[in-house]
Structure 1
Amino acid sequence: MALFIALVFGLLTLDFVIKKNNLTGKNTFGILVFTLFIIQIPTIYTNPKIIGSTLFLILASRRLLSLKSEKNIEKKILDASIYIAIAGLFFPWCWLFFVVLYLSILWNTVLETRFLIIPFTGILAVFILKTTYHFINNDGFSWFFLPKSNSSFNFAAYNHLGILLTSILIGLFILWMGGVRLARIPALPKKERSSAWLIVISLITTILIATLSDVKTSAELLFPLFPLAIVSANFIEEKEGSGPIKPFDYWFKELLLWLLVGISVVLLVL
């Protein structure tokens, strides 16, 4: 039940992030895509670490996307660094998301040394809290010397037909919609480009996090879903202009949506 509540909270947070930062039009395509993919991956519901780390990455993204407002920059950077550090406690490869944090600082702020130092303060705060917890319950720093996660490329769990189908579908969405979005970023209004780049870099980073995970259960597919949902919504809602291609474009996107819905229903029933 707690994991379900965490997923719902993550879904609502993602919806807030999308609307607050105008990442898509006034629609729910992003939330729909995110929900339908979650339905297709039942292993997510038995993996609290991946759910927890993804939730904190979404919270971090919320703060990073709001940097462009140039208000309370120090607080937002600190919050984001704390969220990423906590996600790293759940799932060590989430530390890669600090790349997204620093790129966001470079794109959205007037570069100052203190902005680059603040993330280390967030990391230190989480380290102190974690160590304090272990001092009370165990023996202090021993947790720090425990073996950390390694990478594994054993994809045996993907031999299941449902998981294989979902992973192929996610891969196609990433290649097609991510590629289209990447190609069209230069044509976006200047004020929208930094957010668009941040989402694309987040997608690439979360793909790396999922790929480098130490155990492949298919639950790691949750990581790239939140940036992929936004990219997919951008693709679905985008108009190609007028002319003969417009009807084909409309029906192609309708087909993609219904295909995603159909696969989700079939896998849910099976």
Structure 2
Amino acid sequence: MLTRIFATSKPLNFLWVSLYLLLIFALDWFYTCNRGYDIWAILEFLSMSGLLIFSILLVDFIVRKNELSKKNSFVVVAYSFLLAMIPISKLELTGVVAHVLVLMAIRRIISLQSLKSVKKKLYDATFWIAIAALAWYGAGGILLLVFVGVLLFDASDYRNWLVPFFAVLTVGIIYLAGFWVINDQLPQYFQLQDWNFDLSEFKSMQTAWPAAYLLALSAVVVPAYWLGFRKIMLIRKKRQLFIVFAAIVAWLVAFGVQPAQTQSLIFLMFPLGVALANLTERNQQRPITEILLWAFLLLPFAARTVI
């Protein structure tokens, strides 16, 4: 049933996954959230939910535009199911905004494969990530993907390696100028701080279980995704290699942001969703695919009843 529904791409599929996410988010908010139920808390919930649903449309656009999947809704479904694994009570509005901005940057990086307007795309991608880092500092690590994009798609022109630095400089100047105008002074927190490896947030089952599940899934799905393209010439599978690097960078950010936060896992959703959907497409045994889809659908609910 689910295989038949999502094996095609229809607008109605977006409605199903959107309602599914809203249901999961509502359960999280009303049963596990400690932010209260005043008007500002409700607006925060609606804003985060709206942005995450918008990110589904953005993911679908990226996949279609760059042919990362066949004409179906499996990536959208996988992305939505993975998002549902993260309790919304552990997300922040700034982090969700950063995630959407990072997706916009990834859209520009993957499109480098066309070798058209390379420098403009690199500038745009870096600009979005720099803005995302201002919204939530952990997004700054995603800048690694810009250089991965240069390495994979057009490393021969040395100027491509310099463009990201100019984009970061532009955002930095705009930020400092705006801060000066508003506060009549420059920010005073530019100082080195001790870096301590702290995973204390993952001591509770509510956060440890999703993190362990996503880590195990990544260890299986991402290598299998890459091995599935081993017969294709390297020049033709750069997009797939970028997805692998995107998953690796997402985990580096997840462990690099200290103290560790469940929020940082959100950057893993896109590359892992693409890899998971690709394995679903390649599986020609429909009963197995159907069972897997139902398992991913019900797993977030099962996890919440256990924890």
Query: Which residue in 1 is equivalent to 2:133?
Result: 88
Query: Which residue in 1 is equivalent to 2:225?
Result: 181
What are the ranges of 5 or more consecutive residues in structure 2 without an aligned counterpart?
1-45
Query: Which residue in 1 is equivalent to 2:119?
Result: 74
Query: Whole-Å Cα distance in 2 between the matches of residues 13 and 178 of structure 1?
Result: 21
Query: Whole-Å Cα distance in 2 between the matches of residues 260 and 151 of structure 1?
Result: 35
Going from structure 1 to structure 2, the CA distance change for 1:156 and 1:68 (only over 3 Å counts) comes to closer
Match of 1:35, as an amino acid? S
Query: Whole-Å Cα distance in 2 between the matches of residues 150 and 9 of structure 1?
Result: 34
Q: RMSD over aligned Cα, in angstroms?
A: 2.4
Going from structure 1 to structure 2, the CA distance change for 1:81 and 1:54 (only over 3 Å counts) comes to same
Match of 2:86, as an amino acid? I
Look up the SS of the partner of 1:22 in the other structure: coil
Query: What is the correspondence of 1:1-270 to structure 2 with a 5 Å cutoff?
Result: 1-43=46-88, 46-109=91-154, 111-143=156-188, 145=190, 150=195, 152-160=197-205, 162-190=206-234, 192-239=236-283, 247=285, 250-267=286-303
Going from structure 1 to structure 2, the CA distance change for 1:66 and 1:157 (only over 3 Å counts) comes to same
Deviations 1:181-240 (A, max 9, x none): 12233323555411001110010001111112224442322121111101111111114x
Contact 1:151 1:213 (8 Å CA) reproduced: no
What are the ranges of 5 or more consecutive residues in structure 1 without an aligned counterpart?
240-245
Contact 1:4 1:45 (8 Å CA) reproduced: no
Going from structure 1 to structure 2, the CA distance change for 1:149 and 1:258 (only over 3 Å counts) comes to farther
Instruction: Report the TM-score when normalising by structure 1.
Output: 0.86
Instruction: Report the TM-score when normalising by structure 2.
Output: 0.76
In the alignment of these two chains, the number of paired residues is 261
Deviations 1:143-179 (A, max 9, x none): 552667945422344422x443322321222011111
Going from structure 1 to structure 2, the CA distance change for 1:36 and 1:135 (only over 3 Å counts) comes to same
Going from structure 1 to structure 2, the CA distance change for 1:269 and 1:133 (only over 3 Å counts) comes to farther
Going from structure 1 to structure 2, the CA distance change for 1:208 and 1:269 (only over 3 Å counts) comes to same
* More displaced 10-residue stretch of structure 1: 65-74 or 100-109: 100-109
Look up the SS of the partner of 1:153 in the other structure: coil
Identity of aligned residues (%): 21
Query: Whole-Å Cα distance in 1 between the matches of residues 90 and 107 of structure 2?
Result: 24
Going from structure 1 to structure 2, the CA distance change for 1:254 and 1:191 (only over 3 Å counts) comes to farther
State the 1:267 CA deviation.
4.7
